[in-house]
C-alpha cells in the first residue's frame, strides 16, 4: 500500500516535542512494514467514501488516514481526546 502525508499532518507533527515526534516516526515505519501489526491498531473508523482509518501512533496519539484506491493519506495526528471528538462527528 502506498502512503503519503497531507500538509496538515506535517503541520500538526511539527508542533509536537521531540519525545513525541520520534516514536511517531518509528510507528510509521512499522506501519510501512506491516499495517496490520496489532500494536498499531489500524482500523476503519468510517464507512464513508473515501473511507477513513485510524492508526495508533504512540500512547494517547492517533493518526487519521484517508484510503483512496491502494493509497493511504495521513491527514492528521491528534491526542486521543481530540480523536474521540473527531470520530463522533463522522
**Domain edges within the chain:** 2-88
CATH fit for domain 2-88, picks 3.30.2310.20, 3.40.1670.10, 3.20.20.150, 1.10.730.10: 3.30.2310.20
Cis ω before 11 (30° cut-off from 0): no
Per residue in 25-67, pLDDT (tens digit) is 999 999 989 988 999 999 998 887 788 999 998 889 999 999 8
Distance CA 68, CA 52 (A): 9
Name the pLDDT band for 87 (thresholds 50, 70, 90). Answer: confident
Distance CA 10, CA 38 (A): 25
Name the pLDDT band for 1 (thresholds 50, 70, 90). Answer: confident
Looking at residue 72, what is its pLDDT?
92
Radius of gyration of the CA atoms of the chain, in A: 12
Evaluate if residue 18 carries a pLDDT over 90.
yes
The model carries a pTM of 0.83
Cell of 67: 484510503
Amino acid at each position: 500500500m502506498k502512503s503519503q502525508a497531507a500538509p496538515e499532518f506535517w503541520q500538526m507533527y511539527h508542533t509536537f516535542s521531540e519525545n513525541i515526534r520520534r516514536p511517531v516516526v518509528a510507528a510509521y515505519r512499522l506501519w510501512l512494514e506491516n499495517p496490520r501489526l496489532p500494536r498499531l491498531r489500524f482500523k476503519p473508523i468510517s464507512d464513508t467514501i473515501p473511507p477513513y482509518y485510524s492508526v495508533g501512533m504512540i500512547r494517547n496519539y492517533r493518526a487519521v488516514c484517508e484510503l483512496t484506491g491502494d493509497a493511504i493519506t495521513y491527514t492528521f495526528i491528534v491526542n486521543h481526546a481530540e480523536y474521540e471528538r473527531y470520530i463522533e462527528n463522522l
